[in-house]
């Protein structure tokens, strides 16, 4: 374990002290939520292992652990869409990280959209009004791709795991 992270010793320490004591899960990962500094938009949710977390803190650029490729992943190394950290926050029990970033080029989604979140699910009354046999259709909130994934990634394998 790095010097950077302190051992988790008590609820009070984790929730109320200045100790950085992240909780990595059974796979050694912690989820990281990444939002756009200017717009507040949720760009992506990734995972970090201890190395990725450390590199993110030390460099000020987002590093993740790619679960599909099982490697340290400097976001933007391939696409150029580097995420510069404006603010990195931890949650109360330190099992989650929030990255507020500027993205060079403005895209974060391998499908080509600005954000990974480009479809919404009708809920509540809208669900009631549109469901058919308990099923619903997703609704696009963004229809404009900001880059062509084929141009950027070529024939690299799609990271989506079924």
Interaction residues for a copy of itself, span 72-111 (CB under 8 A): 85, 87-93, 95-96, 98, 109-111
Distance CA 100, CA 33 (A): 8
Q: Which of 24, 50, 57, 146 binds a copy of itself (CB under 8 A)?
A: 57
Which one, of 49, 23, 45, 41, lies nearest residue 32 by Cα? 45
Contact 76, 104 (CB under 8 A): yes
Q: Which of 70, 124, 129, 154 binds a copy of itself (CB under 8 A)?
A: 124
Q: Which of 118, 146, 152, 153 binds a copy of itself (CB under 8 A)?
A: 118
Give the DSSP H/E element, type plus range, for residue 50.
helix 50-59
11 sits near a copy of itself (criterion: CB under 8 A)? yes
Distance CA 24, CA 41 (A): 26
141 sits near a copy of itself (criterion: CB under 8 A)? yes
Q: Which of 8, 50, 74, 82 binds a copy of itself (CB under 8 A)?
A: 8
């Amino acid at each position: 374990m790095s010097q950077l992270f302190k051992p988790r010793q008590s609820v009070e320490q984790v929730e109320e002290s200045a100790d950085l004591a992240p909780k990595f899960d059974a796979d050694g990962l912690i989820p990281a939520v990444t939002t756009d500094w200017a717009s507040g938009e949720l760009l992506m949710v990734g995972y970090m292992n201890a190395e990725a977390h450390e590199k993110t803190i030390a460099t000020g650029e987002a590093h993740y652990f790619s679960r599909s490729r099982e490697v340290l992943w400097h976001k933007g190394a391939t696409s150029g869409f580097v995420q510069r950290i404006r603010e990195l926050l931890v949650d109360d029990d330190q099992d989650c990280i929030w990255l507020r970033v500027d993205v060079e080029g403005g895209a974060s989604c391998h499908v080509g959209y600005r954000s990974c979140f480009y479809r919404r699910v009708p809920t509540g009354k809208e669900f009631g009004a549109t469901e058919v046999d308990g099923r619903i259709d997703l609704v696009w909130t963004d229809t404009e791709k900001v880059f062509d994934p084929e141009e950027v990634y070529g024939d690299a394998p799609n990271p989506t795991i079924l």
